[in-house]
Structure 1
């Protein structure tokens, strides 16, 4: 069990008022407090989740962008039963239609090189088939479900709680942590701005200020009485140990696993992560209309200041271009998601990476 979690009870679960408080460590049933974070878009695979489980850790399948049918297939493909699923909770950020058309015209030249037609493109405003995915998880229960981008309604939380799942909410600020606690989730994933890929912020037009993960975790622990899983920029055993001392019960890492044997990261993305000429990261909303941390390239350099906010409309708009760039080995027009610790990502089994990160605990 996770020593750091054993003595911290999860909140009483509302309807089950006669049920004793559940210990988070008991519920997770894992030995290694370094988890494999969900990475949507293909980087997280059932093999990566299984590798985390075999190491005594916890992995999360990333349901974002997948069809409900594909999610069901992945749930069946994972040989381990000890894993979680991450969902993109509905928190729409509608795009201004005129700004969308302007932006589509700007990036049409980049799309043309791959034979992708953007003229006349209209915004797609969907909810990632949210309710259908809830039904998949009702049919295929998992021990843990986490949410990113927003807090589900109480009714939707109740649907998942009825499956027996522990409910985790990604938060990026103290105010978000308070709101998640008030909604009745069981634990928090506290994400710092150093995290790679999308920020879990509830207010994407006003991304959270950059703050060290240790300070953010300590502040949340002082304010909200829920267990905390820390995420964002954690890439060494020393950093993991420090954030545990700051009050985290466990950590979740993503970027450090992007080059692991089991990750589904594209060859183009892998090459960029180890390119010595790439020395830093930037936060951009040019690819998807929501802020996300990535390695800078020609696309971010040219369009970060020109892109409107609007998710998922911009995600759908640029999706074809990004897939074509990945297939062509073109690093300059692909979303190269990466946290600030990307230099520590290595080519080796995920279990070895996760175990090494826990060495100082």
Structure 2
């Protein structure tokens, strides 16, 4: 079945869900241009999620709601203390009393409570990052008639996702911005660039494969399709669109020469994610063994982010970005979607 029929979309172009920089406004603009708009839901409170789902359902078209499928770790007081000690000079610099900041997760995985909330909306597509939720939750999502997608960063993960019932696999190349979707193995040496990973996954699985990572223009779309992709997922290029809620500080970084240097870092959440290199990544090192497991690293660094941003500084901000920004003029999402489609 062609992926346009599977996903009921005119164009095989999916706007990547990007937590913290977008709402349903961006998703709707992409839908109106013929693509699939996505809503990141992992950081939304229940009422906010419900409001966004109402907006998407009222508009219609094909939309995707995205969730994390991680397991929150058990509290690790020793590691948390080590992490806070590592950040102590920065807390002192900004006058932050870290003892008053509680440890915590900040991001919750897909659950039966969330399923209860979204079931009345029956999303056309539900996608996951970091694997898949429990089988009983998968069964519920399937019962709504929703198509199910999830990210794979290796061939083994793609085969696992196929075995567990996804309708399509998102092949996430190493170039992609934001969190790595790996879930079977945390060994970063196994991660590959999209143009190496994509044809391997296409050859290994029977389900359609969606290419993600470093796709920011029609030429990249054309290259991905030539290597067997059935669709593409684009994130960073949409961050400069006026419909996105990307902060002025983040937009400036994306437009600057600084955006040419990105790295995988676990400092902001505890899990490797690609972002523009900033002060804390340079001084601590982008990957630190002191950072607690995802998503608990966030608690100790969040006050630093807030304090620095209040001064217009992005030294502690996760400036998520792929290795190819594209869209430097900040065109609207509809224009960008149609420009990407010229590569089909």
Q: Give TM-score scaled by structure 1 length.
A: 0.87
Corresponding residue of 2:214: 233
Q: 1:133 to 1:316 in 2, by over 3 A?
A: farther
Residues 209 and 231 of structure 2 are in contact (CA less than 8 Å); yes or no, is this contact kept in structure 1?
A: yes
Q: CA deviation at 1:125?
A: 4.4
Q: CA deviation at 1:204?
A: 6.8
| Partner Cα separation in structure 2 for residue 146 and residue 36 of structure 1 | 12
Corresponding residue of 2:70: 90
Q: CA deviation at 1:73?
A: 1.1
Paired residue secondary structure (1:167):
strand
Q: Deviations over 1:63-96 (max 9, x none)?
A: 0111122111111133522211000113345564
| Partner Cα separation in structure 1 for residue 174 and residue 75 of structure 2 | 23
**Matching residue within 332, 336, 341 for 1:349:** 332
| Partner Cα separation in structure 1 for residue 174 and residue 114 of structure 2 | 28
Indicate whether 1:31 and 2:10 are aligned.
Answer: yes
Corresponding residue of 1:315: 298
Structure 1 residue ranges without an equivalent (≥5): 7-23
Structure 2 residue ranges without an equivalent (≥5): none
| Partner Cα separation in structure 2 for residue 105 and residue 137 of structure 1 | 40
1:236-251 correspondence to structure 2 within 5 Å: 236-251=217-232
User: Following TM superposition, where does structure 1 have runs of at least 4 consecutive aligned residues deviating by more than 6 angstroms?
Assistant: none
Q: 1:115 to 1:80 in 2, by over 3 A?
A: farther
Q: Deviations over 1:273-315 (max 9, x none)?
A: 1112442111111111000001101011122354434111112
Q: 1:297 to 1:251 in 2, by over 3 A?
A: same
Corresponding residue of 2:97: 117
Residues 281 and 296 of structure 1 are in contact (CA less than 8 Å); yes or no, is this contact kept in structure 2?
A: yes
Q: CA deviation at 1:221?
A: 1.4
Q: CA deviation at 1:30?
A: 1.5
Range with greater deviation from structure 2 (231-240 or 338-347)? 338-347
| Partner Cα separation in structure 2 for residue 337 and residue 272 of structure 1 | 10
Residues 90 and 127 of structure 1 are in contact (CA less than 8 Å); yes or no, is this contact kept in structure 2?
A: no
Residues 269 and 326 of structure 1 are in contact (CA less than 8 Å); yes or no, is this contact kept in structure 2?
A: no
Q: Which is richer in helix?
A: 2
Paired residue secondary structure (1:328):
coil
Corresponding residue of 1:333: 316
Paired residue secondary structure (1:332):
coil
Q: 1:316 to 1:150 in 2, by over 3 A?
A: farther
| Partner Cα separation in structure 2 for residue 109 and residue 327 of structure 1 | 19
Q: 1:108 to 1:134 in 2, by over 3 A?
A: farther
1:226-305 correspondence to structure 2 within 5 Å: 226-303=207-284, 304-305=286-287
**How many residue pairs end up in the alignment?**
339
Paired residue secondary structure (1:333):
coil
Q: 1:94 to 1:219 in 2, by over 3 A?
A: farther
Q: Once superposed, what is the RMSD of the aligned Cα atoms?
A: 2.1
Indicate whether 1:59 and 2:37 are aligned.
Answer: yes
| Partner Cα separation in structure 2 for residue 93 and residue 237 of structure 1 | 41
